Amino acid sequence: MSSLLELKQVEAYIQQFHILHDISFEVPKGEVTVLLGRNGAGKTTTLRTIMGLNSMSNGSIFLKDHEIGGLKTHAIAKSGVGYVPEDQGIFAELTVGENMKVAMMKEDEETTKRMEWILELFPDLKKFWKKQGGKLSGGQKQMLAIARAYVNENDLLLIDEPSKGLAPIVVEKVMESIQEMKERTTILLVEQNFMMASKIGDRFYIIDDGQTVHNGSMDDLRNDKMLMQKYLGIA
């Protein structure tokens, strides 16, 4: 199997609510796979379930052909999955530098190199190294969140709506940075900003009411006005 990550008929509940009914998709190595779908469709729940933050009631999740469904979150992170949550998950009281340090799982040469690279990609993080996370702008917080996931030796990054709440010019910057990262890692991206999704995505899956209902290449989707209208509300 060439896919780095594969979900097969994943189901999940949040309390008594059956939220994910049948999530099945593959994330090929070296590509950006985008999860699309309306608000409340189950995109965030899907990422949380992959990370073991939400338990799965049925189905299977394979990472590099090993089943990770049912493992604890730290074990999943350790096996090479970085997660940038929707709310960014940074520590407001800690400085940028401290946020980076607590995120680092190792302090080896490779990690140092990735840290240098990420600080070149996001010079603001270097500039505001001693500033508290909570005092950064929205775009800077997003960059810090991405940097925290990237600094570790991950095979796969899960990024949940990085454009959310950001001004268009900042969205552009975040998009460019993800595009650069694409050369170095595999990405599963949740993104409602269609412009961003279509620029950096290779393949897409549409989630509707907790099910993966459509998939294809990003080029196919751009030309399918009916599909976009039906599931994404894009005229």
Question: Which positions lie near Mg ion, rule CB under 5 A?
Answer: 43-44, 86
What's the rounded Cα separation, in Å, for the pair 201 and 188? Answer: 9
Q: Computed over its alpha carbons, how large is the radius of gyration of the chain?
A: 17
Task: Provide the mask over 173-212, with x wherever binding to ligand ATP is found by CB under 6 A and - wherever it is not.
Answer: -------------------x--------------------
What's the rounded Cα separation, in Å, for the pair 16 and 158? Answer: 26
52 is an interface residue for ligand ATP by CB under 6 A: no
How many residues are present in the chain? 235
223 is an interface residue for ligand ATP by CB under 6 A: no
Residue (86 or 98) nearer to Mg ion, CB: 86
Q: Could you tell me which residues are beta bridge partners of residue 6? A: 26, 62
In the complex, what is the shortest distance from the CB of residue 215 to ligand ATP, in angstroms, rounded to a whole number? 16
Query: In Å, what is the CA distance from 72 to each residue of 52, 166, 183?
Result: 6, 32, 29
**Which of the listed partners (Mg ion, ligand ATP, none) does 14 bind, with a CB threshold of 5 to 8 Å by partner kind?**
ligand ATP
- The tally of CA atoms less than 13 A away on the side-chain side of residue 35 is 29
In the complex, what is the shortest distance from the CB of residue 49 to ligand ATP, in angstroms, rounded to a whole number? 9
What's the rounded Cα separation, in Å, for the pair 34 and 48? Answer: 15
39 is an interface residue for ligand ATP by CB under 6 A: yes
User: Which residue in the set 3, 33, 45, 212 belongs to the binding site for ligand ATP (CB under 6 A)?
Assistant: 45
**DSSP code, position 201:** -
**Which of the listed partners (ligand ATP, Mg ion, none) does 12 bind, with a CB threshold of 5 to 8 Å by partner kind?**
none
User: Which residue in the set 5, 25, 42, 128 belongs to the binding site for ligand ATP (CB under 6 A)?
Assistant: 42
In the complex, what is the shortest distance from the CB of residue 94 to ligand ATP, in angstroms, rounded to a whole number? 26
In the complex, what is the shortest distance from the CB of residue 133 to ligand ATP, in angstroms, rounded to a whole number? 22
Q: Could you tell me which residues are beta bridge partners of residue 207? A: 212
16 is an interface residue for ligand ATP by CB under 6 A: no
Q: How far is CA 179 from the centre of its chain?
A: 13
